[in-house]
Chains A and B, each alone.
Chain A
């Protein structure tokens, strides 16, 4: 099958049940998408399929056939960072950084649907993404900042 990842088309002839996570990591070398739980419980693997946030660890590649997969590596437009990446910089959000790709991709999908989310909407949208370093208050603040930037 043909899979489009970050704007480039790739041929894949392996197991169609292989989760997107392992395809982008092991086959394409896009290791920014992280393995955290394998059960869609932590959000570290979040990518976009046609702009919607999906958990790549449980979503088979067959689901993405003829659709566009975007990983963290494809979020910035060339040199122009996504407003969330800028806001993450401004708030110095990451600690270890491992979950942050998933956090940013989840937040980007939220803002794409809801340009100015209320506090509770942010909490609700982001509570599927675990950060063991505990950067939640900064994630929340950075999403607010990016939302202001966008509006």
Chain B
């Protein structure tokens, strides 16, 4: 293994040097001991293999290269996409190498967000594998002059059982090359019981490289002659340089240049933020020299942004009637006639993505071309953004996708890639743009800030008979349309319009809010704030009714049924999927709640200071219920001894990675509950991990029990759905433990 690793590393250096920096082995990331030989041979192959389609390359030595067109950020998409192809191809996993696709529309959707890689590719990639397998059967039948129906295959070998003959896939390459590829859509797919890799806990193809420190992330790209840039960006969005003194920076040994970048014009979109770039021959020098820049900034219109004052303006907005986005029954009459009414305002702050790898991108630009290497979630957007910034055609731009050290939606935005391209053009050299943690925290596309107003009426039996919810937050739409002050349809469909409760009188309203910073999507997006408010409020109603929160939640949801949302004033997006295929199924929602209650032993009385809280939510077409156990100490500090979570994501491709996403999504949910970004004078007030709090091992659950509901339903999302229930479940637990209801996030570490 180490020999191959060494070969791989040396090969990387050698190839980089030999090709003037334009060849980079990231396209072929070898993995695992099992694939060592295949990887080495693949890297050294002189004769190209046969590529019957975009996703499969058959090598003459029997190796199989599978192309992954989705970006890897920890969800193990490189493994699961390869599992889909390899299973139907009946490839030998030990001979499979995964190649990362560049950004190119020919691969179809490469925008790796929205928890949709498996959903969008589940059938398509299996067909890609199955049609190549059929091609190999045809090639073998042709060779042996037997009917194709008599050929079968297993683990990279085609058999003719009747005559005892066999040929490896590699031996069939030349024969297969002369035959047309069977139509993928008509390829016969395996039945579920025949699946070899799908639904199994196959280890990550990148595990071995990670453990050796040889996995290549965007930050790790090194090209011969490469310069490193760090940028002092305007502290306020749309701010600009008023005056600059760069003498000290330029005088620093190792500094090559100081270059001003123009500020963007609205909308901010994926444009570079502008500022002053320091270009040096190594990262440390660039960082040091940036600190010597003396810059006066003109802040512009966003310079007054104060998130505390802004929150109060949103609270005022939710206090007034808004625009109806869903209504049934007569809420006003129900509330007026209720035995008891309950109302609450929930506040949630901006959050930063804080991927462990800050954004980084490397570019080489000529008059008629650009080549970039970036940790991007959306390489096609990187390509078009770079093309637009440089005045090139997209076809003139090549985008190589590295591994991503976390994404969470941050790396869907291409500003950092554009910066690298602009600076590579300006210097005429390969340039890597490195973001520091301060850059990352202070120039994010932030998760939005929000206020929610909820009011409900209970009848004499404690049943909720009316539900009013008003939601207000600056929209992601503002990033792409500067005048956007109202939520987009898809944002309303994340936990507001799609309320699954069986309440006869229900009304959801939206209000307006302007954005004063860049607003982006963060793992599970608007579900974070809507689930926090709705699932906290459900628990408040249970307490008002004197009922058990889990029982009351099930009562609110009502019987198993499909929630129809016809004729809404604003169309329900359903995550881009047809409701016929992916309905809102309260039976599945009930089931995850009942299962998590059982697994967490919900009814067992906990010892003094400990308490449970529950929350459940359907998002990205999957159903998740979570029980958080909290222990509050005498000094008000708290820990999470355990979390139980149950997911119904339909058909799953890799059970261990779904479990890992549920664990990680739970920890991410804790971070969403305890973190906050605030603004004063248009500037983010936090800058690094000392003041932007994310969950460390000490705050993370000590134990996370994950159960995946066995299902043959169509595959749904996995990366995001585990996150939304965590904050409300935590706050519901804290309320039981202490009597304190937290309606304003973040949750303090000392209650």
Contact = CB atoms under 8 A, between A and B. Distances in A.
Nearest to A140: B697
Contacts of B203: 89, 92
Contacts of A22: 282-284
B667 A134 contact: yes
B421 interface: no
Contact of B357 (A34, A76, A94, A122): A34
Contacts, number: 191
A96 B666 CA distance: 16
Contacts of A76: 2, 212
A1 B695 CA distance: 39
Which DSSP category, helix, strand, loop or mixed, fits chain A's interface?
loop
A70 to B, nearest CB: 11
Interface residues of A, number: 60
Interface string A26-60: 11011111111111011010000000000000000
Given A27-B282, A35-B434, A134 B356 contact: no
A37 B215 CA distance: 19
B697 A34 contact: no
Given A35-B434, A36-B437, A133-B74, A98 B357 contact: yes
Given A41-B688, A42-B356, A134-B665, A97 B215 contact: yes
Interface stretch (B157-165, B216-224, B235-243, B267-275): B216-224
Interface residues on B, range: 35 or more
Which DSSP category, helix, strand, loop or mixed, fits chain B's interface?
loop
A109 interface: no
Interface in B358-412: 358, 403-408
Greatest chain B CB density within 10 A among A22, A35, A134 is at A134
A99 interface: yes
A98 B213 CA distance: 9
Nearest to B281: A26
Nearest to B12: A29
Given A35-B219, A92-B203, A97 B403 contact: yes
Interface string B677-704: 0000000000011100011111011111
B446 interface: no
Greatest chain B CB density within 10 A among A34, A92, A94, A95 is at A95
Given A34-B405, A73-B213, A134-B668, A92 B207 contact: yes
Given A27-B282, A34-B356, A37-B688, A104 B211 contact: yes
A57 to B, nearest CB: 10
Interface stretch (B110-118, B484-492, B599-607, B656-664): B656-664
B206 interface: yes
Contact of B216 (A15, A31, A35, A130): A31
Contacts of B283: 22, 25-26, 35
Given A31-B216, A34-B357, A79 B1 contact: yes
Contact of B212 (A19, A32, A127, A137): A32
B75 interface: yes
Given A131-B356, A132-B694, A29 B284 contact: no
B355 interface: yes
B211 A81 contact: yes
B59 interface: no
B135 to A, nearest CB: 34
Contact of A26 (B214, B282, B438): B282
Given A26-B282, A34-B357, A127-B697, A100 B211 contact: yes
A51 to B, nearest CB: 18
Nearest to B689: A41
Contact of B284 (A26, A34, A136, A138): A26
A127 B639 CA distance: 13
Nearest to A97: B210
Contact of B689 (A30, A42, A94, A136): A42
Greatest chain B CB density within 10 A among A27, A32, A71 is at A32
A37 B689 contact: yes
B729 interface: no
A80 to B, nearest CB: 9
The 6 A-B residue pairs with the shortest CB-CB distance in the complex, in nearest-first order: A32-B213, A134-B667, A98-B405, A96-B74, A95-B74, A72-B213
Given A22-B282, A104-B211, 8 more contacts: A79-B1, A88-B211, A92-B660, A94-B210, A96-B73, A96-B403, A130-B689, A136-B700
